[in-house]
Amino acid sequence: MARRRSRRPGSMWRSTLLACLALGAASAVAQDARKSGFAYMGPDTQAMQKDDLANPGMLSALDGEALWNAPAGASGKSCASCHGDATASMKGVAARYPAYEATHNAPVDLAGRINLCREGNQQAPALPRESREAIGLATYIGQQSRGLSIAPPDDPRLTPFHEQGKALYTQRMGQLNFSCAQCHDENAGGHLGAAPIPQAHPTGYPLYRLEWQATGSLQRRFRNCMAGVRAEPYSYGSPEFIALELYLMDRAKGMAVETPAVRP
């Protein structure tokens, strides 16, 4: 049996939204009631995520593994030349990003950290965000934290960025004038048309989204939600997205990494 294309394109999500401005009953997400998006999926999609030989996100992890070992740039070095076996050296790394980068006086996300090594250490051009290569490496590195707890760095330099992320998360935006929190805190567990509203935990990224028919980043997901409320999405790697990512990782502290997850 072959999979069919998703019948739920993004444009429908948007029109459903217009029709459903009255969302379900309010229920703030208590710390101990946290649930991964996995819990809101149907059994078929859960089975796809759980089986490494059916989970298409594993194809991106394989891309990443090949790149990890391939020499690139003027240095002629591969990631492995310096970092060795990723299953040891990259264990737990994705679980503690974004992290503060002193040379930037700002946090960097994992994709940004990989590009710092591409440019600075490998002397190779930065990988474009969301390219097959960039997603592959981030997926392969993320996979090395699978099952480990999200453990944001305890770094006071990150506090102002956490606060910025929280402000963005609770700020109304777009023509439909919704904040992330209105859906993901106040109406988590409810529905938006046919789609269950998850609590927006960043546990599975990069992940394979059936609607994308591809593996994509957390920031791609943010852009979908922003377009859904008809807001102008921030760009990939923008300080706003890194702050949002930081806030969501803090909010999901202790939850298990699922990379590469599958989502509808």
Partner 1 sequence: MAARALINIPKGAKRGDIVEIKTLLSHPMETGFRTGADGQLVPRDIIEKFVCTYNGEVVFSAELHPAIAANPFISFTTIAMDSGTFVFAWTDNHGETQVQTARIDVA
Catalytic residues: 225
> How many whole angstroms separate alpha carbon 32 and alpha carbon 30?
6
Q: Work out how close the CB of 254 gets to ligand HEC at its nearest, in angstroms, rounded to a whole number.
A: 16
Given a contact cutoff of 8 angstroms between Cβ atoms, the answer to whether 236 and 180 are in contact is no
> How many whole angstroms separate alpha carbon 41 and alpha carbon 43?
7
Scanning 53-61, 146-154, 156-164, 190-198 for contacts with ligand HEC by CB under 6 A, the matching segment is 190-198
Scanning 58-66, 141-149, 161-169, 228-236 for contacts with partner 1 by CB under 8 A, the matching segment is 58-66
Given a contact cutoff of 8 angstroms between Cβ atoms, the answer to whether 242 and 107 are in contact is yes
Name the residue nearer to partner 1 (CB basis): 6 or 11: 6
With CB under 8 A as the contact rule, the residue among 109, 130, 133, 185 that binds partner 1 is 133
> How many whole angstroms separate alpha carbon 68 and alpha carbon 81?
9
Site for ligand HEC in 100-129 (CB under 6 A): 113-114, 117-118, 121-122
H, E, C per residue of 160-217: HHHHHHHHHHHCCECCCCECHHHHHCCCCCCEECCEECCCCCCCCCCEEECCCCEEEC
> How many whole angstroms separate alpha carbon 188 and alpha carbon 248?
15
Site for ligand HEC in 207-236 (CB under 6 A): 221-222, 225-226, 228-229
Residue 40 identity: Y
* Pairing relationship of beta strands 214-216 and 99-101 according to DSSP bridges: unpaired
Q: Work out how close the CB of 72 gets to partner 1 at its nearest, in angstroms, rounded to a whole number.
A: 13
With CB under 8 A as the contact rule, the residue among 1, 22, 28, 88 that binds partner 1 is 1
With CB under 8 A as the contact rule, the residue among 210, 225, 231, 249 that binds partner 1 is 210
Neighbours of 170 (CB within 10 A): 13
Residues in the site for ligand HEC, rule: CB under 6 A? 13, 17, 37, 77, 79, 81-83, 93, 99, 113-114, 117-118, 121-122, 137, 141, 178, 180, 182-184, 192, 195, 197-198, 200-202, 204, 221-222, 225-226, 228-229, 244, 263-264
Residues in the site for partner 1, rule: CB under 8 A? 1-6, 51-54, 56, 58-59, 62-63, 66, 132-133, 136, 210, 213-214
